[in-house]
Structure 1
Amino acid sequence: MRNALLIAELSLREAVRKRLVVVLLLLTAAFLGFYLYGVWRLEGTLDQRAIDAGLDGRSTTGAANIPIMYSALFGMYLVFFLGSLMAVLSTVGAVSADVENGVMQSVLARPIRRAELVAGRWLGFTVVNVGYVALVSAALLGGIAALTGFVPPEALPAVGLILLAITLLTALTVLGSTLFTTLANGIGVFVLYGAGFAGGILTAIGSFSDSPTLGTLGRAASILMPTNSLWLGATYHLQPEVLRQLGEAAQGANPLFSTTPIASGMVLWAAAYAVLAVVLAMWRFSRRDL
């Protein structure tokens, strides 16, 4: 365990040395500034419309504030998408890159087990990826709350589900890094991510058209890659009751948001999936011929 923590620390230092953290912070600050400026202008427009209509103000959870609510939802979707990209791109060469450039032989010459190296790599990159998404989520939702007064009804459970999705993506990418080359690993994980997104679309179409076959296909894709299901579960906690009612009236036709909470079994499966991926990566790399 001590060696695994040491590898995790070295992975964090590597991320800093390669200026990954600096670049992310600068670009994220630009993204947040751009997005929150748009929310601020939208808030001013809605206030002016309320004044023109002879109203004293708007309720933060009422129908007049729906544009702000959707801004918070779409903003969090961007955070989820950016976090997913980072989880894959930052971890894609966690093991394979060192094998391909010959560094791994010198690392393994030291008194450290291969399984510890994989566990440390996963832990280090998970800390970076999860910390990044948690920080950006807090900044976005806090900025919207400061500008508009709107706070999602259950922000903490929503962010927790998103962080679980990022943890799972990081674990699967580390597993792929012990099985494939860096390029093949990146392509494979993105295909899996796309399969999960396609599952959400199929489920929405199946619900809207009352097609059991599409619903079954969508659930199968979600089991194969539950990241999109975790996002949909997060949207349930981010939506006030007025948005849920709109979604129910549309019969679930929106594939990006959900009006039903995620099943506890899916959350447990996603957590077990991540653990299984890390354990399998440790086992596979311990028996790999370098």
Structure 2
Amino acid sequence: MHNALLIAELSLREAVRKRLVVVLLLLTAAFLGFYLYGVFRLEQTLDQRALDAGLDGRSVNGAANIPVMYTAIFGMYLVYFLGALMAVLSTVGAISGDVESGVMQSVIARPISRPALVLGRWLGFTAVNVGYVALISAALLGGIRLITGFVPPNPLPAVGLVLLAIALVTGLTVLGSTLFTTLANGIGVFVLYSVGFAGGVLNSIGTFADSPTLTTLGRLANVVMPTNSLWLGASYHLQPQVLRELGEVTRGANPFFGSAPITPGLVLWAAALGLLAVVLAMWRFSRRDL
């Protein structure tokens, strides 16, 4: 375990040395500034409309504040998407990149086991990816609160589900890095991510159209790749009661927002799948011929 933690520390240093962290912070600051400025302008527009209608103000959790609610949830969806994208791009060459460049031969000559090397790489990249998403989530929701006063009903469980999705993507990418080349791994993980998203769309269409076949296919896809289900569960915690009631009326036709809480079994399966991916990566790389 000591060697794994050492590799994790070296992975963090590598991210800093390659200026990955610096670039992420700069781009994140630009994204947050752009998005929160839009929220600020939206808040001014809604306040002006309330004054024109002869109202003293708007209820933070009322129907008049629905645009702000949607803006907050969609902002978190962008955070989830950017986090998943970063998890793939930062981890896609965790093992295969060093193998292809020839660096791995000098690394495994040191007194460190291959499973510990894989575990350390996963821990290091997971710390970077999860830490990044947690930071940007707090900044986004905190900025929206300062500007509009709106706070989602249950932000902590929502952010927790998003972080679990990012950890799962990171684990699957590390596994793919022990099985395929860097390019093939990136394509494969993106396809898996698309399967999860397609499952959410099929499930929404099947529920709205009352089609058991589409609903079953959507649920099957969400089990194969539960990242989208984790996001839908997170979005449910971000919705005030007025949006949940609107989702019930439309019978869950919106594929981006969940109309029901995620089941505990699916959360446990997502966590188990992420850990299983890491264990399989450790086992596969320990038997791989370099």
TM over 0.5: yes
1:15 maps to amino acid:
A
Q: How many residues get paired?
A: 290
In the alignment, what sits opposite 2:253?
A: 253
Q: Matched residues in 1 for 2:261 and 2:34: separation?
A: 31
Question: Cα offset for 1:48?
Answer: 0.5
Q: Matched residues in 2 for 1:116 and 1:216: separation?
A: 39
Q: How does 1:1-290 map to 2 (within 5 A)?
A: 1-290=1-290
What's the secondary structure of 1:60's corresponding residue?
A: coil
Deviating beyond 4 angstroms after TM superposition, the runs of 4 or more aligned structure 1 residues are none
> TM-score by structure 1 length?
1.00
1:132 maps to amino acid:
Y
Question: Cα offset for 1:259?
Answer: 1.5
Q: After superposition, give the CA deviation of every residue in 1:85-124 in whole Å (9 maximum; x if it has no partner).
A: 0000000000000000000000000000000000000000
Query: Gapped runs of 5+ residues in structure 1?
Result: none
What's the secondary structure of 1:15's corresponding residue?
A: helix
2:100 maps to amino acid:
E
1:198 maps to amino acid:
A
> TM-score by structure 2 length?
1.00
2:109 maps to amino acid:
A
Question: Cα offset for 1:224?
Answer: 0.5
Q: Matched residues in 1 for 2:24 and 2:206: separation?
A: 38
Q: Matched residues in 2 for 1:72 and 1:118: separation?
A: 37
Q: After superposition, give the CA deviation of every residue in 1:115-145 in whole Å (9 maximum; x if it has no partner).
A: 0000000000000000000000000000000
Q: After superposition, give the CA deviation of every residue in 1:24-59 in whole Å (9 maximum; x if it has no partner).
A: 000000000000000000000000000111111111
Query: Gapped runs of 5+ residues in structure 2?
Result: none
Q: Identity rate of aligned residues, in percent? A: 80
2:84 maps to amino acid:
S
What's the secondary structure of 1:254's corresponding residue?
A: coil
CA RMSD in angstroms, aligned pairs only: 0.3
Q: Matched residues in 1 for 2:175 and 2:258: separation?
A: 30
Question: Cα offset for 1:170?
Answer: 0.1
Q: Matched residues in 2 for 1:67 and 1:192: separation?
A: 32
